Amino acid sequence: MQSLDNPNGKLVFQATWAAVIVASLLMFAKTLAWWLSTSLTIQASLLDSLSDFLGSIINFFAVRYSRKPANDEYRFGHGKAEALGGFVQSMLIMASTFWLVWHAFHQPNINQILSDNSIAIWVMAFSSALTLGLVIFQIYTIKKTNSIAVKADFLHYQADLLSNVVAIIALIAMSHYGITWIDQIFGIGIAVFLIFGSWGILKQSASILMDKELEPQVRQDIISIIQSNKSIIDTHDLRTRSTGHQDFIQFHITLDPELSLKNAHVISDEVEETLRNAYPKSEIIIHLDPLGYNKSPKEIESTP
């Protein structure tokens, strides 16, 4: 289990903590800009940052909880909390898309004279630079850890970066060139981008929460590794699942019934070590079957 003391666990935690800090700064800056400028574009971006902040808070606590080690009550750990956080995040992102579309079609005439255009533009430029730094850090974290929670946060802030750039373009286009439709077009484009991204995260989160098997190619690779041990006669009942940052692999192997318990245990350890070298972030459970032993649990219970 990747705890917060693990390098990858620390990196994920730092990424979620950075997202909370950035979202807080963005909300403060955009609130000031909206108060000074009365810009509807800034108001929309402020609400988007509020959604980012709520999502990042959820991720922060979900990641902390998911990295807690297994205990007597939760023998398989708490890893699914991260997938649950990603699931909630994806729902928040989808809700944001409905707001963007509604705002694009129902806002009043946005070609209004802003009380202080320059402040609005400079605040959005600051927001873009701050968000870009966070997005770069999140990309690095995802490559290192494949964290589903950070992926969900990344989608949030990737869209936020786009909306900040769009807001700057829209403010300039509306105030200097009188182009009133650009905000609507860009807003709908970002909404479409968000829907596709959040749907991918939603599916990945649901797969983890529902204990979906690992990919067929991975399962076949696991079987090949097991059967590469010449002492194994057969392997069956392979079951796999993932929590996003840890995989669980369990299976039965058939061995010569004349082997001693010690030798059978040695073979099991060899298989486990080979698998763990190939899949270091996995927990492996192996059940040993002697060849020719086909009794079911009910048959064993009824045996005098």
Which of 18, 17, 49 has its CA nearest to residue 33?
49
pLDDT reading at 174 higher than 60: yes
Predicted confidence band at 238 (pLDDT cuts at 50, 70, 90)?
very high
Predicted confidence band at 118 (pLDDT cuts at 50, 70, 90)?
low
**pLDDT attached to residue 112:** 45
**Is the pLDDT higher at 123 or at 270?**
270
**pLDDT attached to residue 94:** 76
**pLDDT attached to residue 116:** 47
Q: In the chain, pLDDT over 70 holds for what percent of residues?
A: 74
Over residues 95-122, the mean pLDDT reads 60
Over residues 133-147, the mean pLDDT reads 88
Q: In the chain, pLDDT over 90 holds for what percent of residues?
A: 23
Structural domains of the chain sorted by starting position, each given as residue range(s) with its CATH number in brackets: 7-209 (1.20.1510.10), 216-302 (3.30.70.1350)
**pLDDT attached to residue 294:** 63
The C-alpha R_g of the chain, in whole angstroms, comes to 26
pLDDT reading at 287 higher than 90: yes
**Is the pLDDT higher at 221 or at 42?**
221
**pLDDT attached to residue 86:** 73
Beta-strand pair 282-290/247-255:
parallel
Q: Which parts of the chain fold into alpha helices (H)?
A: 7-37, 40-66, 80-106, 117-145, 148-177, 182-209, 216-227, 261-278, 297-302
Longest distance between any two alpha carbons in the chain, whole Å: 92
Predicted confidence band at 210 (pLDDT cuts at 50, 70, 90)?
confident
DSSP 252-293: EEEE-TTS-HHHHHHHHHHHHHHHHHH-TTEEEEEEEEETT-
